[in-house]
Amino acid sequence: MQLFYCPDINPDQIYTLGKEESQHLVKVLRQKEGDKVHLTDGLGNLFEAEILEANPKSCIIKVVNTQEEYHKRDYYLHVAIAPTKNIARIEWFLEKATEMGIDEITPIICQHSERENTKHERLEKIIISAMKQSLKAYMPKLNTPTPLLEVIRNSSETKKLIGYCVGENRNQIKDIYKPKESVLIVIGPEGDFSEKEVEEALKNNFQTITLGKERLRTETAGIYVVNIIHSINQ
Amino acid sequence: MQLFYCPDINPDQIYTLGKEESQHLVKVLRQKEGDKVHLTDGLGNLFEAEILEANPKSCIIKVVNTQEEYHKRDYYLHVAIAPTKNIARIEWFLEKATEMGIDEITPIICQHSERENTKHERLEKIIISAMKQSLKAYMPKLNTPTPLLEVIRNSSETKKLIGYCVGENRNQIKDIYKPKESVLIVIGPEGDFSEKEVEEALKNNFQTITLGKERLRTETAGIYVVNIIHSINQ
């Protein structure tokens, strides 16, 4: 199955695919009039459509079947993570997290940040590509880089966790997170969070978590927490 | 801390670093006579050594302290995985798995394999680099590509698991794996295992496992199981 992303599709009307998608569908996949194609709006809808006109520049289709809330999760997973110096590493996180399943990603700006800017459009493209490849109908929300303290103070998730490398009283995710809880997990830069940042998080009802005995890179830590939350919810 | 890999080091004798390591240590890190440096033999020993002669071509050192069984795990994790068509993806798996902690990796040749050959030396370099970066004293064992049936028939781990996308009676890792058990987990190619391969695995005391609700790429599935095993053992 190949999935196309059409955020502006209206299932009640005929729809014309963009140039790139039309070309891919007609030239590369060699689909013809009457063939079926799958599309999503990234909002949870999986559409099955029929090709009315296999034009390689503007392919016309009509939705014939809609699956709403396709593979909807009953928990909300939000990861706020410090962009890495080598941006390829955080791009890799976006790809893998989308594939594994994530609802929201916030790049954060911390005291020890190695990088504060990201190319939003480029990152969004990576998410879209991963969403299509892994057949998701929900597109993860990607926020623009936000100061950590703002994220900490404005978060509304039920469970709020912050990964921290120092201290004795850190929790394991599996001991404090319960299935179906909405959760925000904050992952810091290579230089870790500052003490002040952790204090501020604790004041705002965050709990510190350990990410295991190994020294993980930022993006690896991000993937680790995504896996653990899914595993607990399985 | 920077870690050097010296498989042939003998802590009772003075040791001369290779050309590349010497250059890195003396030219890049600007270490001088009397400075301390960390090395591992990949067999569990973490050595602290003193620089006797900061020669940028052949730096001479002497071990002054040895930590044996550095960060030794009390469980054994072996992942047998089908190399991906795009080899970069399996290289990424090797890097991340080493960073997260793994004892043995076997590339497997299956009925639906997309690739049967790998460049052993190149893959080993990736493992060494990840081991140094993440400060591990144990180097994961990398086997050469092996037919799946051979892996299945010769495995000696306590728990034997095979990831499979079909069927109703598949287990979740967390329900059947107990902490400290040695475990072999077999991950198939994009086209999944054949029915015959799964039958053969079941005959040899393997249990089928599900890797969650999401459609994961081979290398992502590999990382997923590594994370779950570590989480259960934490």
Closest residue, chain B, to A172 (C-alpha): B234
Arithmetic mean of pLDDT, B89-103: 94
Give per-10-residue mean pLDDT for chain A (234 aa): 92 94 93 96 97 96 96 96 92 94 96 90 96 94 97 95 81 94 96 93 94 83 94 89
pLDDT at B178 > cutoff 90: yes
Lowest mean pLDDT among A45-54, B58-67, B215-224: B215-224
- Architecture of the domain delimited by A77-233: 3-Layer(aba) Sandwich (3.40)
> Given an 8 Å threshold on Cβ–Cβ distance, is B173 in contact with A231?
yes
- Residues 86-145 of chain B with CB under 8 A from chain A are 92, 96, 99-101, 133-135
Residue B32: how many CB atoms within 10 A of its CB? 10
Token reading at B121? 């030396």
Q: Which helix (H) or strand (E) holds A106?
A: strand A104-109
Chain A residues closer than 8 Å to B234 by CB = 172, 174, 210, 212-213
CB contact under 8 A, B100 and A213: no
Beta bridge partners of B39: B4, B47
- Report pLDDT digits (tens) over B34-56: 999 999 999 999 999 999 999 99
Res B215: pLDDT: 76
Picking from B232, B75, B96, the residue whose alpha carbon sits closest to that of residue B157 is B75
Residue of A nearest to B137 (CA): A214
Kind of pairing between the strands at A60-67 and A15-16 = antiparallel
Q: CATH 2.40.240.20 region(s) of chain B?
A: 3-67
Q: Of B27, B30, B45, which is closest to residue B15 (Cα–Cα)?
A: B45
Strands of B15-16's sheet, edge to edge? Answer: B3-5, B36-40, B46-53, B60-67, B15-16
Whether chain B has a CB inside 8 Å of the CB on A158: the answer is no
Cα separation, A31 vs A19, whole angstroms: 15
Tokens 């919810």 map to which residue? A233
- Mean pLDDT of all residues in B189-196: 91
Judged by a CB distance cut-off of 8 A, whether residue A2 touches chain B is no
How far, in Å, CA of A35 to CA of A55, rounded?
13
C-alpha dihedral (B183, B188, B194, B200), degrees to nearest 10: -20
Q: Does the pLDDT at position B168 exceed 80? A: no
**Would you list the DSSP string of A146-192?**
EEHHHHHHH---SEEEEE-SS-S-PBPHHHH--TT--EEEEE--TT-
- Identify whether the C-beta of residue A79 lies closer than 8 Å to the C-beta of residue A157: no
pLDDT, chain B, mean? 93
Given a cut of 80, whether residue B213 has pLDDT beyond it is: no
- Which residue in B99, B212, B216 is closest to A217 by CB distance? B99
Residue B169 has pLDDT above 80, yes or no: no
Task: State whether ipTM is beyond 0.85.
Answer: no
Asked if B174's CB is within 8 angstroms of A100's CB, the reply is no
Residue A159: the pLDDT is: 97
Report pLDDT for A166. Answer: 74
Torsion angles phi and psi, residue A108, rounded to 5: -115, 150
Among B130, B154, B53, B29, which residue's Cα sits nearest to residue A217? Answer: B130
CA B187 – CA B202 distance, rounded (Å): 15
User: pLDDT class for B110, splitting at 50, 70, 90?
Assistant: very high
Mean pLDDT of B2-9: 94
- Reduce the DSSP state of residue B95 to 3 states and report it: helix
Query: What pLDDT shows up at residue A169?
Result: 72
- pLDDT for B113-139, tens place per residue? 988 888 999 999 999 999 998 899 999
Name the DSSP letter for residue A138: B
Which residues of chain B does A71 touch, with a Cβ-Cβ cutoff of 8 Å?
213-214
> Least CB-CB distance to B220: which of A100, A217, A231?
A100
Q: Which residues of A touch B92 (CB under 8 A)?
A: 92
In a mutagenesis test of the B interface, which of A72, A89, A96, A229 is the best target, namely the one with the most B β-carbons within 10 Å? A96
Position B212 confidence tier, pLDDT thresholds 50, 70, 90: confident
Nearest Cα neighbor of B140 from B3, B44, B10 is B44
Task: Give ∠ CA A128-A121-A158 in degrees, rounded to 5.
Answer: 65
A72 shares contact with chain B (CB less than 8 Å): no
**What is the spatial distance between Cα A142 and Cα A119, in angstroms, rounded to a whole number?**
11
Using DSSP's 3-state secondary structure scheme, residue B104 falls into strand
| Helix, strand, coil percent values for chain A (each to nearest 5) | 30, 25, 45
Q: Where in chain B is the domain with CATH 3.40.1280.10?
A: 77-233
To the nearest whole Å, the CA of B58 is away from the closest chain A CA by: 30
Give the HSE-up count for residue B206: Cα atoms under 13 Å, Cβ half-sphere: 26
For domain A3-67, say whether CATH 2.60.40.1190 is its number.
no
pLDDT of residue A140: 97
